[in-house]
Amino acid sequence: MQEFESDVNDASKFVLSEIDSYNWLDASVRKRFFDEKFEVMIGARNLLNVIDVRRSKASSIGGSAHATTSNNMMLGYGRSYFLKLTYNINF
Protein backbone atom coordinates (compact mmCIF):
# COMPACT_ATOMS: atom_id res chain seq x y z
CA MET A 1 0.00 0.00 0.00
CA GLN A 2 1.37 3.41 -0.93
CA GLU A 3 0.32 6.64 0.73
CA PHE A 4 1.43 10.12 1.69
CA GLU A 5 1.44 11.34 5.27
CA SER A 6 2.38 14.58 6.97
CA ASP A 7 4.77 14.99 9.87
CA VAL A 8 4.63 17.59 12.67
CA ASN A 9 6.06 20.29 10.36
CA ASP A 10 3.35 19.63 7.70
CA ALA A 11 5.96 18.18 5.38
CA SER A 12 4.58 15.37 3.23
CA LYS A 13 6.46 12.14 2.83
CA PHE A 14 5.87 8.98 0.83
CA VAL A 15 5.25 5.85 2.93
CA LEU A 16 5.22 2.25 1.75
CA SER A 17 3.34 -0.12 4.05
CA GLU A 18 1.84 -3.60 4.20
CA ILE A 19 -1.56 -4.68 5.47
CA ASP A 20 -2.40 -8.08 6.93
CA SER A 21 -4.67 -10.39 4.95
CA TYR A 22 -8.35 -10.60 5.86
CA ASN A 23 -11.58 -12.26 4.70
CA TRP A 24 -15.05 -10.84 4.26
CA LEU A 25 -18.17 -13.05 4.42
CA ASP A 26 -21.78 -12.08 3.62
CA ALA A 27 -24.81 -14.40 3.51
CA SER A 28 -28.49 -14.04 2.64
CA VAL A 29 -31.59 -16.18 2.19
CA ARG A 30 -34.50 -15.28 -0.09
CA LYS A 31 -38.03 -16.73 -0.18
CA ARG A 32 -40.87 -15.85 -2.58
CA PHE A 33 -44.59 -16.09 -1.79
CA PHE A 34 -47.95 -15.54 -3.53
CA ASP A 35 -46.97 -16.48 -7.10
CA GLU A 36 -43.64 -14.67 -6.72
CA LYS A 37 -45.31 -11.29 -6.02
CA PHE A 38 -44.01 -10.99 -2.47
CA GLU A 39 -40.37 -11.58 -1.55
CA VAL A 40 -38.62 -11.74 1.83
CA MET A 41 -34.85 -11.64 2.15
CA ILE A 42 -32.84 -11.82 5.37
CA GLY A 43 -29.11 -11.71 5.64
CA ALA A 44 -25.97 -10.63 7.40
CA ARG A 45 -22.94 -8.68 6.25
CA ASN A 46 -19.40 -9.08 7.55
CA LEU A 47 -20.12 -12.32 9.43
CA LEU A 48 -16.47 -12.56 10.48
CA ASN A 49 -16.80 -9.15 12.19
CA VAL A 50 -13.75 -7.58 10.51
CA ILE A 51 -13.39 -4.02 11.79
CA ASP A 52 -9.77 -3.17 11.13
CA VAL A 53 -6.54 -4.79 9.94
CA ARG A 54 -3.00 -4.22 11.07
CA ARG A 55 -0.92 -1.96 8.85
CA SER A 56 2.83 -1.89 9.32
CA LYS A 57 4.97 0.80 7.79
CA ALA A 58 7.83 -0.96 6.04
CA SER A 59 9.76 2.06 4.85
CA SER A 60 9.43 5.77 4.37
CA ILE A 61 11.37 8.19 2.28
CA GLY A 62 13.02 10.80 4.46
CA GLY A 63 12.36 8.90 7.70
CA SER A 64 14.56 6.91 10.00
CA ALA A 65 15.83 3.63 8.56
CA HIS A 66 15.30 1.72 11.82
CA ALA A 67 11.99 3.18 12.90
CA THR A 68 8.97 0.95 12.43
CA THR A 69 5.50 1.85 13.52
CA SER A 70 2.30 -0.17 13.42
CA ASN A 71 -1.26 1.03 13.40
CA ASN A 72 -4.64 -0.27 12.33
CA MET A 73 -6.54 0.59 9.17
CA MET A 74 -10.31 0.71 9.63
CA LEU A 75 -12.26 -1.35 7.08
CA GLY A 76 -15.80 -1.53 8.38
CA TYR A 77 -18.10 -0.97 11.30
CA GLY A 78 -18.59 -4.64 12.19
CA ARG A 79 -21.31 -7.21 11.65
CA SER A 80 -24.75 -6.06 10.52
CA TYR A 81 -28.07 -7.71 9.68
CA PHE A 82 -30.81 -6.79 7.24
CA LEU A 83 -34.38 -7.63 6.26
CA LYS A 84 -35.73 -6.80 2.81
CA LEU A 85 -39.43 -6.97 1.91
CA THR A 86 -40.47 -6.59 -1.74
CA TYR A 87 -43.94 -6.55 -3.27
CA ASN A 88 -44.24 -6.54 -7.07
CA ILE A 89 -47.28 -4.85 -8.58
CA ASN A 90 -47.97 -5.89 -12.16
CA PHE A 91 -50.27 -3.72 -14.27
Residue 33 CB contacts under 8 Å (≥ 6 apart), including other chains = 39, 40
Tell me which of 29 and 67 has the higher pLDDT: 29
Of 13-17, 44-48, 74-78, give the range with the top mean pLDDT: 44-48
Residue 23 in this model has a pLDDT that exceeds 90: no
| Sign of the Cα pseudo-torsion (41, 47, 49, 55, in order) | negative
The predicted structure's pLDDT at residue 3:
62
As a whole number of angstroms, the distance between CA 31 and CA 84 comes to 11
The predicted structure's pLDDT at residue 39:
96
The predicted structure's pLDDT at residue 54:
83
Please give the model's pTM, rounded to 2 decimal places.
0.60
The stretch 30-41 carries a mean pLDDT of: 94
